[in-house]
Amino acid sequence: MSTNDNDKIPGWDKSYSVGIASFDEDHKKLFAIIDALMKAKGDTNELGAVIRAYNDLVDYATCHFKSEEDALAAHGYPNLESHRNDHNKFAHQLDSYSSMLDYGVVPPLPDMVSFITSWFRDHVMIHDKEYTRFLNENGLR
Ligand SMILES: [Fe+2]
């Protein structure tokens, strides 16, 4: 098992709050799914568990990104395109992992998990927190 720092995702705590209750709930769920993915990855006999956690992540992230983009679009968020691009960058990388899995090829799991954890942490801490004030000022809490 890799001990790369990028593989670590802490539990959700208030420092990750984006100031919108429903998005914080989504993020907690996504952190829990990523945690399950990391635990499954550590056991090479648990490929089924890796795939289940991975599929959960794809489904939940897709749904969550749409919720965020819909809220940002509804209020005319000025940085929507760059926010959407960051979501799309993540989604495209997941698509390439999904294609491999569809063909029965297991992606390099340490790389896959490092990418997912570091993208997610940075996205929430940097890009998502950028919309807090805007959405709060538009009445979303
Ligand atoms: Fe986002």
Q: For the domain 19-137, what is the CATH code? A: 1.20.120.50
CA–centroid distance, 44 to ligand 1, in Å, is 31
pLDDT digits (tens, 9 = 90+) for 41-57: 777 667 888 889 999 99
CA–centroid distance, 43 to ligand 1, in Å, is 30
* CA 34/CA 123 separation, integer angstroms: 14
Q: Is residue 5's pLDDT more than 60? A: no
Contacts of 89-92 spanning 24+ positions with Cβ under 8 A? 89/119, 90/61, 90/119, 90/120, 90/123, 91/61, 91/62, 91/65
CA–centroid distance, 140 to ligand 1, in Å, is 15
36-65 in b/e form (b: 16+ CB < 10 A) is bbbebbeeeeeeeebeebbebbbeebeebb
CA–centroid distance, 80 to ligand 1, in Å, is 10
pTM of the model: 0.89
Domain locations along the chain: 19-137
pLDDT score of 9: 59
CA–centroid distance, 72 to ligand 1, in Å, is 10
CA–centroid distance, 93 to ligand 1, in Å, is 16
* CA 35/CA 9 separation, integer angstroms: 7
pLDDT score of 8: 55
Contact 110, 7 (CB under 8 A): yes
Contact 58, 94 (CB under 8 A): yes
pLDDT digits (tens, 9 = 90+) for 85-135: 999 999 999 999 999 988 888 888 889 989 999 999 999 999 999 999 999
Q: Is residue 3's pLDDT more than 50? A: no
Contact 117, 34 (CB under 8 A): yes
pLDDT score of 15: 92
**By three-state DSSP, how is residue 140 classified?**
coil
CA–centroid distance, 127 to ligand 1, in Å, is 6
CA–centroid distance, 24 to ligand 1, in Å, is 11
